[in-house]
Amino acid sequence: MYRIVKKQMLTPNICSMVVHAPMLAAAAKPGQFLIVRTDEKGERIPLTIADYDAAEGTVTIVTQAIGASTMHICDMTEGECFADVVGPLGNPSDFVNWDAERLAASHFVFLAGGVGSAPVYPQAKWLKEHGATVSVILGSRTKDLMIYEEELRSVSHHLHVCTDDGTYGFKGNIPALLEKCVNEGAKYTESVAIGPMIMMKFSVLMAQKLGLPVTVSLNTLMVDGTGMCGACRVSVGGKTRFACVDGPEFDGTQVDFDEAIRRQRQYLTQERDAKAAYEEHEEDCACKQRGL
C-alpha cells in the first residue's frame, strides 16, 4: 500500500506529502509525474513529482486543494494509504541526457510560480548535483502564499523572490524580475517556467525578448494522464500534442497558450459542482460526529 509517511500543510490549501512508493522512487527522473487515487472510486489525479528518494523508497507530492478530489487528498492524514500511486509517467526533462561538458557550461534560470515551485525542486537539485549553475526566480501573489523557498535556496546558486503586492522581495511579477536580473548582468543560457498558465505565457514572451531558450511544463492540463481522455490536447508548433504522453515539457515558444488557457477552463462548472458536493458531504459527516 502507498502509505503517507509525512504530511505538511505549506499554506491553508496546499499540502506536501511524502509517500512510500519504492519502485516509483527508484525509477523517477526530473520532469516526470505520477497519478494518485485516494480510494477505489477516486478520480485519477496527475501530480508532478516534487522529490524522490530511492534509498528511502519515497516520493513527494504537493497538492493544492482546488476541487473535490484534491480537497480529499489534502484531508488525508499520515498513516493513511492511497489506493494507487502510478508512475513515473511522461518524459524526463531533456537535460538529463546532456553530457557533463554541456551541463558545466550551462546556467539555468527557473521561473517558479505558485505550486509550480514544487516540481522545480527536483530539477534544480539534479542540475546542481551534475555541475550546472542554477538560479531560481520564485514568485507568488503575496508572501503568505510563497512555498518551497528554503528548499529551492538549498539547491540553487542564486535565489531571487518576488511578490505581486510587494509584501516580500521584489515588487512585481516573475517576468519583470527576470528582465531586471538580465539587465543587471545575469548570464543565463537556459530558462524553465513552471507555474500558472498565464504566468508561463508571459514568462515565455519575456524570455523571447531576452533571447533565452525557454521550456514550460503543461502538467496542469492533464486529467487522466495516459492520453486516453484527450483533455490535455495542446497545439505545439502548429501540431496537436498531448501534455501527458508527449510532454509534460515543451518548447515554450511553440505552445499556443491562448488555446491551452481555454482548454484549462473547460471543466470549471463540473469542478465547482463537485467541490460544493464534497464540502456539503464533509459538513454532514462533521455534524453527525457532533451528534447534531
pTM: 0.86
Residues 101, 73: one domain?
Answer: no
Residues 53, 126: one domain?
Answer: no
Q: What percent of the chain has pLDDT over 90?
A: 72
231 within domain boundaries: no
Model confidence at 23: pLDDT above 90: yes
Element at 26 (helix H, strand E): helix 22-27
**Torsion angle of C-alpha atoms 135, 141, 145, 146, degrees rounded to 10:** 10
182 within domain boundaries: yes
Task: Identify the band that residue 269 occupies on the pLDDT scale cut at 50, 70 and 90.
Answer: low
Angstrom CA distances, 174 to 57, 64, 110, 151, stand at 34, 20, 10, 18
241 within domain boundaries: no
pLDDT, tens digit, 9 for 90 and up, residues 130-179 = 999 999 999 999 999 999 999 999 999 999 999 999 999 999 999 999 99
240 within domain boundaries: no
Model confidence at 50: pLDDT above 60: yes
Residue 233 CB partners (closer than 8 Å, separation 6+): 240, 241, 242, 263
Residues 109, 212: one domain?
Answer: yes
* pLDDT score, position 161: 97
As a whole number of angstroms, the distance between CA 244 and CA 275 comes to 24
244 within domain boundaries: no
* pLDDT score, position 263: 72
Residues 100, 63: one domain?
Answer: no
Dihedral sign, Cα of residue 238, residue 239, residue 241, residue 247: negative
What mean pLDDT, rounded, does the chain reach? Answer: 89
Residues 131, 186: one domain?
Answer: yes
Residues 98, 79: one domain?
Answer: no
190 within domain boundaries: yes
Angstrom CA distances, 223 to 20, 34, 46, stand at 23, 12, 7
Q: Which residue has the higher pLDDT, 120 or 233?
A: 120
Residue 214 CB partners (closer than 8 Å, separation 6+): 191, 192, 193, 203, 204, 207, 208, 251, 252, 253
Q: List the CATH number of the domain containing 59.
A: 2.40.30.10
Q: Name the E strands within 141-242.
A: 158-163, 170-171, 190-194, 214-217, 233-236, 239-242
- Enclosing domain of residue 69: 2-89
Task: Identify the band that residue 42 occupies on the pLDDT scale cut at 50, 70 and 90.
Answer: confident
Domain count, the chain: 2
- How large is the average pLDDT for residues 215-228? 84
